[in-house]
Amino acid sequence: MYNLFKLNNGLRVVVENIDYVNSVSVGLWVENGSRNEDKTNSGISHFIEHMFFKGTKKRTALEIAECIEDVGGQINAFTGKEATCFYIKALDSHLELSLDVISDMLFNSKFSTEDIEKEKGVVIEEINMNEDSPEDVLSDLHSEAIWGEDPISLPILGDIDTVKSFTKDQIEKYISSYYIPENSIISIAGKFDMSNIEKLVEKYFGHWNSNNKKITIYSKPELQQNHLFKKKSIEQLHLSLGIPGIETGNDNIYTLLLLSNIFGGGASSILFQKIREEKGFCYSIYSYVSAFNNTGVLNIYTSLNPKYAADVVFTIKEEVEKFTKTGVSKEKLAKAKEQLKGSYILGLESTSSRMFNNGKSVLFLNRINTPEQIIEKINKIDEESLNFIMKKSFGKGIINSAFVGEKVDLSLVTDIIQKDTVPFKNSKSEQV
């Protein structure tokens, strides 16, 4: 049973009662992430997420963790490009404790100068760890290639110089601007008393207000045609290719997800069978959809020996063009629908996944997308919608790319992407 209501201060609350479980998941969603930042404060949203765990007027950092873990619960948070979420999963008997702890972190965090300086070191180590991961470096580099100077291209962690610059005053002013009820959602899923839930949320969040409000309104960035390379001393070349996608809230996203699954979603996909099984160029290759407010992209990722870069980029481009022309048969469409429905439903097998699904939906779309509604949208995918999205996405071809590794002939692979180039049949061309 679902319910969506709003407190007098503008805070939206979405609840889903699941009476056959014995757990409850509570999440505070704030429509604020790296996309709200600029180059002078890049990473501040992620840093603030860390600071909310460093102690309040009522609890030390240890006590915040202990009071949930001592009752068998889990507490965590994450920051993305467009949202930050603080969440707790616990037995249903500890719902009020969960609300108490999250509200305490939100309203009573101390942000002591000593803790801020200490946490700078922690986050800088996280940035260094990110730099040691080629996949993470590639993700940030490709974001820059896709969106250029738009704030959505900024790295979620920020950079070492911006992290070092954060002050207590800067943090508190940022929180008072973006951490406001109008930008936020409380999402609760699991077993609880529906008749008392509104009063309980009101008790802990009803007084929330701010005089320095900045309602989040995101830009409409155009996808750029950039091709970037970052040198790292590693054996393999990691690459990411970008195809135009679909923005959050567009029901055509399910059609694109289906097409992506067919093209690069698993071991039976076109990319896996062609690039790995037939050609033997790589161990792993896949495509995935990234949807955001007002923009979206379909990414193709793989890692391989640099000497195969030209061959692989050409083969992927060739398969994109072939996929666009041949389309999807009725038999394949039926199977792909079942695969998409199955992965979606299996992904909702816990109260925390339900909480995430509901919270994100209401935060960005101001509505609940029930599993039944999603399944109906998937069932409605037909030849007409497939052709429409195929033309809008795959039909535009690869428009940007990023490469991370020891060497690559960037001008060569860029030329392959941008022009009708002669195939590089097992050329193993020299990379520079």
Neighbours of 395 (CB within 10 A): 17
Distance (Å, whole) CA 224 – CA 233:
27
Distance (Å, whole) CA 237 – CA 242:
17
> CA Rg, the chain, in Å?
23
Distance set, CA 141 to CA 137, 231, 282, 377, 425 (Å):
6, 11, 21, 34, 29
Catalytic residue selected from 16, 31, 37, 49 = 49
Which amino acid type is present at position 78?
A: F
Structure tokens at 188: 């609760």
Does residue 241 contact residue 313 with C-beta atoms inside 8 Å? yes
149: Cβ–Cβ under 8 A, 6 or more apart, which residues? none
Structure tokens at 204: 């802990």
Q: Where is 181: in which H helix or E strand?
A: none
Does residue 366 come out as left (phi exceeding 0), alpha (psi in the -120 to 50 range) or beta?
left
1: Cβ–Cβ under 8 A, 6 or more apart, which residues? 16, 17, 194
Distance (Å, whole) CA 73 – CA 65:
9
49 is catalytic: yes
Q: Which residues are catalytic?
A: 49
